[in-house]
Amino acid sequence: MNGKKLRVGVIGVGHLGEYHVQKYKAMADVDLVGVVDTDWRRAQEIAQRYGTRPFQRREEILPLVEAVSLAVPTEQHYQVAKDILSRGLHLLVEKPITYELGPADTLIRLAKEKGLVLQVGLVERFNPAVVRMKAILTSPVFIESHRMNLFTPRGTDVDVVLDLMIHDLDIILHIVPSEVKEVHAVGMSVLTDKTDIANARMIFENGTVGNLTASRVSDKALRKIRIFQPDAYLSVNFLKRELTITQLDGRVRDGNTFPLVTSNKIQFPGSDPLADQIASFVRSILQGSRPVVSGDDGRRALKYALLIINQIERGCANFERAC
């Protein structure tokens, strides 16, 4: 970039989009050109709050920028993202990448043909507890995740699998060095016309088993993942950004000569996964490197999310091949 700032715009400045604006505004190597929202009053409000320009139509800002954060409703992802990439602009699109695999493939192909960074906003990958956990994993045998939220109307344009569970799907697919062999899923609607509670069990070719539960009608927020491997039990608390490592201490034994079990909690105070995600996006553009969560990663998570949704809708009673 020859020392020049990267010109960035944010399209869609609702609840999550505003956080993108906030993070870009704090970056020294970014020029936040403006924000776009079809709600003109909201665009003006956010622009004034963060000292940038408001736009009501994306066509007005796209000629002025080199990269875009896209945080519009999922149903609009494909058309807007396709327009952005077609104009030769780098893109960070919030999860899920699209509703369907075909449109996701088109976006991935466009980005590759034009040499653009396409990153998907699966922000939990940047949680420092997850980053540290990944570094010490050896051979996970069983993985269990729980992601529970209090009900809120925000995010109900998709079901709980695409809203919440997809984060844990992405992490599990990222840490298990094997293809998925079988999937079984159950779920139900409670407050919306879509699935609000879901459970999925994934069996990998190497024998690893993953059990995922997601609910957006819980009485409290809970976001944890537990991983069992031969030499340790690892537990990540996403909300507290804590990693607990429980393992045998080979040097210390009790009175019966059994090795003692030790537990070590690592905390990451002051961390900001969303800021790290956006900084990673900018860094990938400036350095010409592969994004941490690529379009292909987003597609893979979407593939299994759709498989789970399909099984729930059909009421499958048996394990099925993950084809």
Q: What is the CATH number of the domain that holds 110?
A: 3.40.50.720
Residue 314 has pLDDT above 90, yes or no: no
Q: What is the pLDDT of residue 249?
A: 74
Same structural domain, 210 and 141: yes
Q: What is the pLDDT of residue 252?
A: 66
Give the mean pLDDT of 285-305.
97
pLDDT digits (tens, 9 = 90+) for 250-270: 676 666 767 788 899 999 999
pLDDT digits (tens, 9 = 90+) for 42-75: 999 999 999 999 999 999 999 999 999 999 999 9
Which pairs from 178-182 meet CB under 8 Å and 24+ separation? 178/204, 178/205, 178/206, 178/208, 179/204, 179/205, 179/322, 180/204, 180/205, 180/304, 180/322, 181/205, 181/321, 181/322, 182/319, 182/320, 182/321, 182/322
Q: What is the pLDDT of residue 317?
A: 47
Under 8 Å between Cβ of 140 and 187: no
Same structural domain, 235 and 280: no
Q: CA angle at residue 16 from 13 to 18, to 5 degrees?
A: 45
**Per-residue confidence band for 323, with pLDDT thresholds at 50, 70 and 90:** very low
Q: How many domains does the chain have?
A: 2
**Secondary structure class of 145 (helix, strand, coil):** strand
Instruction: Report residue 286 as tokens.
Output: 């400036």
Alpha-carbon span 146 to 219, nearest angstrom = 14
Same structural domain, 221 and 88: no
Strand partners, 90: 67
pTM greater than 0.85: yes
Alpha-carbon span 80 to 58, nearest angstrom = 9
Q: Report which of 299, 304, 124 is spatially closest to residue 202, judged by C-alpha positions.
A: 304
Structural domain boundaries, residue 87: 6-123+274-293
Q: What is the CATH number of the domain that holds 218?
A: 3.30.360.10
pLDDT digits (tens, 9 = 90+) for 192-235: 888 999 999 999 999 999 999 999 999 899 999 999 999 899 99
